[in-house]
Chains A and B, each alone.
Chain A
Amino acid sequence: MAKIGTMMDVGKRSLQNSQTALQTVSHNIANKSTEGYSRQRVELQANQAIGEGNLRIGTGAKAGLISRTNNPWLEKQIQKEQTSMGFQDGRTEPLGRVEEVYNEQINKGLNNYMTQFFNSFREFSNNPESLSSRTMAREASQQLAGDFKRVNSQLRDIQKDIDGQISNLTVQINNITKEIAALNEKIMQVETQGIPANDERDRRDLLLKKLGENVEISWAEGSHGQVSVTAGNTAILVSGSTATDLMAKVTDARDRVEIFYRQDDYGSEFKLTNNFKGGKIGGLLDVRDNVVEGALGHVDELAYNLAKEVNTIHIEGFDRYGKPGVLFFEMPETVKGSSEKIEVNKTIVEDVGRIAGSKKPGAAGDNTISNMISSLQHRQTMQEGTATFDDFYNSRVGELGSISQRARSTQEAQKSILEQMSSIRESISGVSLDEETTNMIQMQKMYDASARVIRTADEMLETVLSLKRM
């Protein structure tokens, strides 16, 4: 038999349920713009009915779980795409700067100074007797050497800048892993009670994405909902509620920042730089150690070969005073670092008469040697005699241009993939004000109606109580 008390109870619980639902609505609205937030729903269930004779009378609703609307598979995929995105982001920006070093559309660069250098020797050939044409040749040579240095130092500046970025990223990564470890613990505490830790999980998903953007990670959720995160194949960054730091520092072996990992305070350090192939760090490392290092190698090669070829010819000649030619460029010892060290011989800087243009001593009008030097421009001296200096340099510029172009278009493509996926994610987990408003109205009405039920029960009770007086 139905009881008035039960009816009151049902009303009361319904009142509470709608209040819970309303509070969840307000939680959703408040987090409408929170990054990584998934909308939450109160799962209302019908209460256990009470059987009486052949009647089963319902006892209202109860609030089950508050769950988040979320597709974990999608989240994981987004995280992976975010790693690719980070890699492209890491590459594109410094590549743009590398390109600027070689930008001859607006500024004068090596191409221009090389032509000037050879032209100055042509002018010197026209007037081997004149001091002013010698001076011009010296100026052009010094400018050329100076531009080699400019390219070298600008490229190294980019490397230095990347070093700084890597150190910063390492700090960020360490902060993120600490927070993930803390969340792991919290989630475990909450979920052992059988309650889903919605907000904590949202936050952790977001952090994993951010971590993945910076560095390529693999992660898996273990028992008690804790995730363990591994980076660079071997470095366990988060395990349960402990996080282990990455360290970035300069070593003695190389003047670049390297990344190290140490399992615990007593373990030994591992260098992990070469393991980082993905994420922003991977992209930055790729530019620093492959692209820029390669570009430095090429400009070194160019400087070295140019100096070598010019010197080989120049020492065969005789200068204004009939003395045999000196080395024109102070010879870099090794190819590596040539573009930094290349310098016009001091003897020539101090006395342009020492520039040797003649093939025999005492012939003031002889320009055979200077003709030979200027002919170098069209001689195939680079890459086993298959390319001229200009060919070599120009194709390197083209190469860097296309690397940068490709990076930019891949970045665009990756960006639109990611945007598409985020949009799908929002479509599933995002908060819609319209929806929440409708829910709000619905729940408010439920609240009203529940209150009405209680009042009705109250009135019924009053009716019953007033029976006796009559």
Chain B
Amino acid sequence: MRIADKMTSTQVDRQIQKNKAEMANQQNQAATQKRVSKPSDDPSVTTRVLSARTDENSYKQYIQSIVQAKSFIDYTEQALSELSDSLVRAKELAIGQASDAGAGEETRKITAEEVSQIFQQSVQIGNRKLGDRYIFSGLQTLTQPFDQRGEYSGDSGDIKIQIHKDAHVGMNLAGSKVFLGEGVSGDGIIRASSVNPKTVNELNEMRQEDQQLQKIKQDEEFNQVQTRSLASTGSTEKISKQDPISNSRGVNVFQTLKGLEISLRTNDKAGVQESLDMLDQAISQVVLARSELGSRVTSLNATSDSLQKAVLDNKAMASQMEDADIFKLVSDINRTESTLKATMETSGKMVQRSLLDFLR
């Protein structure tokens, strides 16, 4: 092949360019520590890294939400623990006054005072706040749920927190459930719905359902027959009432306490004895509520653990895909550098020489 002078110089130029481009690319990788620094470096990796990053960020948010939900649940649990202590105390008092042995009209009157204290205390527990929000008022978190008489002005709503891609968890227990015994499920456990509507259709269905339940409840209450005399009103008013929605019998903690207090005040031994049963039910209602909270925390912990692991896994995966292998890179850089040097040395010799150098 005939070699023209221009061929040599373009060849030299091209090879040096190629080496330098490779060098620049490797240097860029070393500086950014990334193998993929723009989408075209590896489009499929870019797509996967992007979605891994989205996942990582939302997982971190879920973990943060779980921490908040847990603190809310812990706080609720603490309040309920105090409530169950108070109810146990009330039961002890009731046992002491349930028979005529060592109890009489006087002691019952004194005990009534203490039960009244317990009632007040329970109302206070029902009005606990975490930060700005009342924890037992359902969704009406800025409304004080219970007044002095134990009347409820919150609702039965569940505050749902997203803890995973498609999972929500209820973090509160509405006062209407744990204190008033409404909407307790058949086995006595208070369950929060963990379904959050996704579409507007689902939302509307949910609203309709809520309205229907509301109506059934109102009808039921309207038709309720008073079973006891006025004097001991409250003590058994709703004892035999079935929850129209879940068909369970919940206990109204405040009415139970009030009933006990009235029975004590009126020296109604039978009433006090009846209250014992009610108190037992109330205690078990609260205990069951606490165990429900406990199981929620357990499941939150498990979710949080798996999320934390997923964050790490995601990071590891993204790093494996997009990060530069430093050891390999450094050795590559050395190789490119020596190639460049060799190219330059040989080129220098090639470009210089021509026949003219040898003619004198």
- Tell yes or no: A106 within 8 A of B by CB: yes
Q: Classify the interface of chain A: helix, strand, loop or mixed.
A: helix
Assuming the contacts A395-B47, A427-B3, A433-B354, asked whether A372 and B14 have C-beta atoms less than 8 A apart, the reply is: no
Write the B127-169 contact mask toward A (1 if CB under 8 angstroms, else 0). 0000111000111111100000000000101011110011010
Contact A359 B207 (CB under 8 A): yes
Q: Which of A316, A362, A375 contacts B200 (CB 8 A)?
A: A316
CB distance from B24 to the nearest CB of A (A): 14
Known: A423-B10, A426-B7. A394 touches B50 (CB 8 A): yes
**How many angstroms from the CA of A438 to the CA of B2 in the assembled complex?**
15
Decide if A125 touches B141 in the complex (CB within 8 Å).
no
- Cβ–Cβ contact A129 & B354, under 8 A: no
Chain A residues 75-125 with CB under 8 Å of chain B are: 95-96, 99-100, 102-106, 111-112, 114-116, 118-119, 122-123, 125
Q: Is B68 an interface residue (CB 8 A)?
A: yes
Neighbouring B residues of A130 by C-beta, 8 Å: 131-132
CB contact list, B152-199 vs A, under 8 A: 155, 157, 159-162, 165-166, 168, 172, 196-199
A126 proximity list for chain B (CB < 8 A)? 64-65, 68-69, 161
Question: Counting CB contacts under 8 A, is B291 at the interface?
Answer: no
Q: Kindly list chain A residues whose C-beta atoms are within 8 Å of the C-beta of B46.
A: 105, 397-398, 401
In this assembly, does A172 line the interface, its C-beta being within 8 Å of a C-beta of chain B?
no
Query: Cβ of B38: which chain A residues have Cβ within 8 Å of it?
Result: 96, 99-100, 103, 105, 401
A34 to B64, CA, bound (A): 70
* Cα of A103 to Cα of B172 in the assembled complex, Å: 42
| Interface membership of A237, Cβ < 8 A | no
- Asked if B203 and A368 sit within 8 Å, CB to CB, the answer is yes
- Please name the residue on chain A nearest to B34 by beta carbon: A105
Q: State A364–B159 Cα separation when bound (angstroms).
A: 10
Q: Nearest chain-A residue to B322 (Cβ)? A: A105
Query: Complex Cα distance A226/B237, Å?
Result: 113
Which residue, of B37, B46, B141, B168, has the highest number of chain A Cβ atoms within 10 A? B46
A118 to B55 Cα, complex, angstroms: 12
Interface flag for A404 (CB, 8 Å): yes
- Residue pair A372, B203 in contact (C-beta under 8 Å): yes
Collect the chain B residues with CB atoms within 8 Å of residue A365's CB: 133, 137-142, 157, 159, 172
| Nearest-neighbor residue (CB-CB) of A437 within chain B | B355
What residue of chain A has the Cβ atom nearest to residue B171's Cβ?
A126
Is B346's CB within 8 Å of the partner chain A? no
Q: Does B231 belong to the interface (CB within 8 Å)? A: no
Assess the B58–A119 pair: CB atoms within 8 A.
yes
Contact with A398, one of B47, B133, B166, B206 (Cβ below 8 angstroms): B47
**Please, what's the 1-or-0 string for A428-470, where 1 marks a CB less than 8 Å from any CB in chain B?**
1111111001100100000000000000000000000000000
B207 partner residues in chain A, CB cutoff 8 A: 359-360
Quick check: is B11 within 8 A (CB to CB) of the other chain?
Answer: yes
In the assembled complex, B27 has its CB within 8 A of some CB on chain A: no
Interface presence of B36 (CB below 8 A): yes
Residues of A within 8 A of B230 (CB): none
**Chain A CB within 10 A, most for which of B44, B157, B162, B203:** B162
- Encode B62-97 as 1/0 by CB contact (under 8 A) with A: 101100110000000000000000000000000000
Which residue of chain A has the shortest Cβ distance to B140 in the bound complex? A363
Bound Cα distance from A103 to B204, whole angstroms = 41
Given the known interface contacts A99-B39, A374-B162, A402-B40, the answer about A32 and B206 at a Cβ–Cβ threshold of 8 Å is: no
Find out whether the CB atom of A405 lies under 8 angstroms from the CB atom of B40. yes
**Contact partner of B139 among A366, A399, A423, CB < 8 A?**
A366
Given contacts A102-B39, A391-B51, contact A427 B2 (CB under 8 A): yes
Q: List 21 A-B contacts (CB under 8 A).
A: A33-B6, A99-B38, A105-B32, A112-B53, A112-B57, A119-B61, A122-B65, A126-B69, A316-B203, A359-B203, A360-B207, A363-B141, A364-B133, A364-B141, A365-B137, A365-B138, A367-B161, A368-B160, A398-B43, A402-B44, A404-B39
Q: With A105-B49, A363-B157 given, name 20 new contacts (CB 8 A).
A: A99-B40, A119-B61, A122-B61, A129-B132, A130-B132, A363-B139, A363-B155, A367-B159, A372-B197, A379-B198, A390-B51, A391-B51, A393-B50, A400-B39, A401-B38, A401-B47, A408-B40, A426-B7, A433-B5, A433-B354
